[in-house]
Amino acid sequence: MRFCSDDLHAEELGSVVDKSSFLSYLIDQCKKSKNINIVDEADAYIDNVTSPIKLSQSQSKLTITGDYLIVTDGANSQFAKNLNMERHSFDYDQTSYMFNTNYQHLSKGAFQIFSRKGIFAILPFNDNSVSIVASIYNEFIDDFAFESENANFDMLEMELAPYLRGIDKPKLIYKYPLNTSRLVAWSKQNVIFLGNSSQLIHPFGAQGFNFAADCIQVISDKSEDLLLDGEFNPEILNIINKKRNALLKRIDFTSSALMRNSFSANVCSSVFSRTINLSSTLRRSFLKKIVGMN
């Protein structure tokens, strides 16, 4: 399937954001704000969930209190463990590797390839380089051997053909086991979990960060009515819950249709793409869903 911004009569389909520069920018902004205290490298734990919240640091006697707490300590959240939050495991049996590499001839497009060995995304980074996200099925990890001196980049290039040819030795930025988990309920009284601490979504959907930003928008829109009787306002929880359920359903449906390397999955994805290519209305509504437009 091929989509372009003309399909939505828009100038672009989205933006590629360099996460580390964006985070540095946000931290700088927080440092400049008189209303924000940064306590970094905190090994914090919650005394108990009562109103108001009391956070203590194990390394020092510092105690932070507040009316509510928004937890974003990432996947395998320590706070979720401390509060005994129930979770479901989702093991995709894959590991994501992210690379940057010099490459000058990529158009401004992004590509995603579903193959027997994994899911591969090619993202334009700047005029001279691209980022590659390779989510490899664990049974093929030794064949690619990305972390060894004999990394098999020829094999990677075969998977990326015909979209990327003749890449320089890619630089491994990080790897991420896709042994993920989702909280069953992502809130408890006056504590809520956002982003990876609530659910780690497979990168093929490119939705994890976007969804976290969406939740923050909901919270800031209702900042005046955030609490009701010392707990998070059920209205806000409902809005986020609906969005979260819809997103997870979509991700699970698409991953079960496209990811499995079986005859039925291949037939299913082929029928799916043909149908979508036949109807421009269906095409547009599918695309709107992917890029998160209402």
Ligand X SMILES: Cc1cc2nc3c(=O)[nH]c(=O)nc-3n(C[C@H](O)[C@H](O)[C@H](O)COP(=O)(O)OP(=O)(O)OC[C@H]3O[C@@H](n4cnc5c(N)ncnc54)[C@H](O)[C@@H]3O)c2cc1C
Tokens of 78: 């320590």
User: Segment 157-216, which members bind ligand X (CB under 6 A)?
Assistant: 176, 195-197, 203, 206-210, 212
Give the binding range for ligand X (CB under 6 A) out of 40-48, 150-158, 232-240, 266-274.
Answer: 40-48
Nearest-approach distance from CB 115 to ligand X, in angstroms: 17
Q: Is 44 in the site for ligand X (CB under 6 A)?
A: yes
- The residue type at 263: F
Residue 211 CB, shortest distance to ligand X, in Å, is: 7
CB of 123 to ligand X, least distance (A): 7
Question: Near ligand X by CB under 6 A, which window of 4-12, 24-32, 69-77, 154-162?
Answer: 69-77
Residue 74 contacts ligand X per CB under 6 A: yes
Cβ proximity to ligand X: between 73 and 252 the closer is 73
Is there binding between residue 118 and ligand X (CB under 6 A)? no
Q: Tell me if 88 sits within 8 A of 172, measured CB to CB.
A: no
Least CB distance to ligand X at residue 277 (A):
24
Give residues in contact with ligand X (CB under 6 A).
42-44, 72-75, 96, 98, 133, 176, 195-197, 203, 206-210, 212
